[in-house]
Amino acid sequence: MPSTIFYLYLIVAVAVISGIRLLSSPEYARWGNIIAAIAMLAAIVLILAQQELLGVGSVVVALLIGSIIGAALAIQVKMIQMPQLVAFLNGCGGAASCLVSLAETANPATTANMYICGWAVIVGSFTFSGSLIAVGKLSGKVKQQPVILPHHSWLTSGIALLLILYWAFAVYLRFTSFLLYGVILLPFALALGVIFTIRIGGADMPVVICFLNALSGLAASLCGFVTQNPLLVACGAMVGASGILLSQKMCRAMNRNLANVFLGLGVTPVSGKRLEPDSLQLKKEAEMTEEDKFSFSLKILKEADEVIIAPGYGMALSQAQFKVWELAEILEARGARVRFAIHPVAGRMPGHMNVLLAEAGVPYDKLLEMDAINEDFKNTDVAVTVGACDVVNPSAIRVAGTPISGMPILKVFEAENILVCNLDERPGYSGVENPLYKEKHAILLWGDAKETLDRLIKGLSDRG
């Protein structure tokens, strides 16, 4: 190992680590990103110089084409489409690692190298096809519900077994071209990625994206083993660790484990009737007309000192986040304290809800994590849920045996009054009926959240 290059690699690696480290504070996160980007640029230039590629036109053109496509995607994407973009980029990374390893199979030095190349091809192509399915599911081009083929588990394990056997024993097949060995791996690994991802439901996508993120890191790391490059190994391993950590966090927040997410278990909608009727004080829905409900909502909002808003993915779907912030600003101008309670799996990827609200202009110190705010619902005058169902469903802690039982939820039901701005009373993704809607202190404002909020905003500003 030539020592100068080694030290340069070390500097790049340290820069990348400190970049990620800075991401832990919202104030300096931008700098972290810039440092990591500069480190990456430096590494690319370094390799170009070291391999004497600077003058090679085709390489420069390839770099430029990739950069332009990447930039175009990044600039055009809407915040609600962020999960798709991240999944797509994961796929690109995986595919790139796979292709590099394939290219390297053309000149493997040793048998050991061939094994690593093969393994890198498998992980890379699996990441690629899995990510494309995830993109399809997130953008609605592929059915969101789990697609289960006949004998799905057998099919999955069968392909996986074939793949591993072939990978392990290919040395004995005496290939004349090692490239052929790699190419034969491709269809199996690609098919496995598809079959694996297609059975996972839409609401479990946060976990899948994290997992694919981890895999794209692993693929890059393997690619580093193939090309004997410690920097690739290091960066890839860090990304892998990050992805694994985030998948774990997401699973914990949904009270699932990786195995049952991947097997598509626990997402079959159950009928709400399986639940016992709630023992709470039920109110007669007919008592209040729409107009009554509306003016009562205005009254409690006007009198409120403490307001917590609990947004869900429904808010993002109706693009109501701007209205939500408008409402919050009006309430604040009236002297109330307004905060946001963010459930870890609100949205379609970790932290998605925070980004959506930040886009609408909500300052980040008003966005509180579930654990930081959950005990405050008791002392809250009005809790407003906007397009959230499962993450505020008290059944999760009151009823045993439902798909969401044991899942940590936002304790919206503890608030003095609850305004529910959801589209309708249908259960959330889990299919578990939400007894919150029957609570005496819940005011149900059905309809598109954006319109509901607009009416509230108008009402508040008109009658001063």
Partner 1 sequence: MLVLVFILSGLIGYWVITKVPSLLHTPLMSGTNAISGVTVLGALIAVAVAATTSSKSLAMVAIVLAMVNVVGGFLVTGRMLAMFKKGKSKGKE
Which lies closer to partner 1 via its Cβ, residue 66 or residue 140? 66
Print burial letters for 139-154: b (CB count within 10 Å at least 16), e (below 16).
Answer: eeebeebbbeeeebee
219 is a site residue for partner 1 (CB under 8 A): yes
The region of 95-103, 294-302, 419-427, 450-458 touching partner 1 under the rule CB under 8 A is: 95-103
- If you search the block for the tokens 């701005």, which residue do you land on? 421
390 belongs to the catalytic site: yes
350 is a site residue for partner 1 (CB under 8 A): yes
207 is a site residue for partner 1 (CB under 8 A): no
Please tell me the total number of residues recorded for the chain in this structure.
464
308 is a site residue for partner 1 (CB under 8 A): no
Rounded Cα distance between 21 and 25, Å, is 8
- The CA–CA distances, whole Å, from 6 to 29, 40, 367 equal 28, 15, 42
Q: Which two tokens stand for residue 36?
A: 């990591």
From the candidates 292, 305, 365, 390, give the one annotated as an active-site residue: 390
In whole angstroms, how large is the CA radius of gyration of the chain?
26
Q: Which two tokens stand for residue 109?
A: 């030095």
Which residues make Cβ contacts (< 8 Å) with residue 282, sequence separation at least 6?
A: 438, 440
**Interactions with partner 1, residue window 353-382 (CB under 8 A):** 354-355, 358-359, 361, 363-367, 369
63 is a site residue for partner 1 (CB under 8 A): yes
Which lies closer to partner 1 via its Cβ, residue 81 or residue 145? 81
Rounded Cα distance between 20 and 37, Å, is 11
Q: How far is the CB of 336 from partner 1 (least distance, A)?
A: 9
Q: How far is the CB of 15 from partner 1 (least distance, A)?
A: 11
Q: How far is the CB of 337 from partner 1 (least distance, A)?
A: 8
Q: How many residues bind partner 1 (CB under 8 A)?
A: 112
Q: How far is the CB of 57 from partner 1 (least distance, A)?
A: 12
Q: Whose CA is closest to 253, among 418, 358, 369?
A: 369
**DSSP state letter for 384:** E
Q: How far is the CB of 240 from partner 1 (least distance, A)?
A: 6
93 is a site residue for partner 1 (CB under 8 A): yes
233 is a site residue for partner 1 (CB under 8 A): yes
The region of 233-241, 266-274, 384-392, 418-426 touching partner 1 under the rule CB under 8 A is: 233-241
149 is a site residue for partner 1 (CB under 8 A): no
The region of 74-82, 155-163, 395-403, 434-442 touching partner 1 under the rule CB under 8 A is: 74-82
- If you search the block for the tokens 């509180």, which residue do you land on? 368
Provide DSSP, 64-130.
Answer: HHHHHHHHHHHHH--GGGHHHHHHHHHHHHHHHHHHHHHHHHTS--SHHHHHHHHHHHHHHHHHHHH
Active site residues: 390
